[in-house]
Amino acid sequence: MIRRVKICIVSDSHDRADPLAQAVREAKEQGAQAVIHCGDVIGTQTLRAALEVGLPMHVIHGNNLGDPISLSRWARERPGKLDYHGADARLTLGGRRVFVVHYPEYGHAMACTGDWDLVCCGHSHVAGVEHVANVKGGRTWLANPGTVAGLAAPATWILGDLATMRFDLNRLDL
């Protein structure tokens, strides 16, 4: 059953805690109920202010691994608030099947399988949303929120509505 769930999709915060927290706050104000971070958090402390906003957060590590031991410990200490999934995540949110991976080429490949309603990725710092044809004859949403830190690109994040499958790109004023 599909339920009305809005999500904040971010990526590539690269130790920049303030823009990450700003995006999560803005998303919560717009009705987001959960956060998906598509990797490159780096330091665990980067998550502190965003977690204080109060939304559950799903995090993968990306290619800038940071401290996975600390991320695992923080997740254990914050059940229901922080889920650290490692290299990728398989989630069910609002009745939708969501796959999260850092690399966009892997994200595109997973979208093409038709096994997912939404695939979220990052890494490129290039924001975009596309509806990808899959091998099962349907289409899968592929969302890359860009870099919330605004590194060599605008600071961006995505607000997704899983009931309507609408994905709006948002820009932060840093």
The rounded distance, in Å, linking the Cα atoms of 85 and 96 is: 18
Q: What is the CA radius of gyration of the chain?
A: 14
Indicate whether 139 pLDDT > 90: yes
Within-domain flag for 102: yes
CATH number at residue 145: 3.60.21.10
Residue 174's pLDDT is: 84
The rounded distance, in Å, linking the Cα atoms of 114 and 146 is: 23
The rounded distance, in Å, linking the Cα atoms of 133 and 125 is: 23
Within-domain flag for 1: no
Nearest to 121 by CA among 6, 5, 9: 9
Q: What's the pLDDT tens digit per position in 95-111? A: 999 999 999 999 999 99
Within-domain flag for 17: yes
Q: Work out how many domains the chain is built from and give that number.
A: 1
What three-state secondary structure class fits 42?
Answer: coil
Within-domain flag for 70: yes
Distances (CA, A) of 70 to 52, 84, 174: 18, 10, 28
The rounded distance, in Å, linking the Cα atoms of 111 and 140 is: 5
Give the phi and the psi of residue 51 in degrees, each rounded to 5. Answer: -65, -30
Q: What's the pLDDT tens digit per position in 71-127? A: 999 999 999 999 999 999 999 999 999 999 999 999 999 999 999 999 999 999 999
Residue range of the domain that includes 129: 6-171
Query: Given the structure tokens 């490159």, which residue do they identify?
Result: 40
Of 24-33, 62-71, 77-86, 141-150, where does mean pLDDT reach its minimum? 62-71
Within-domain flag for 86: yes
Structure letter (DSSP) for residue 62 = -
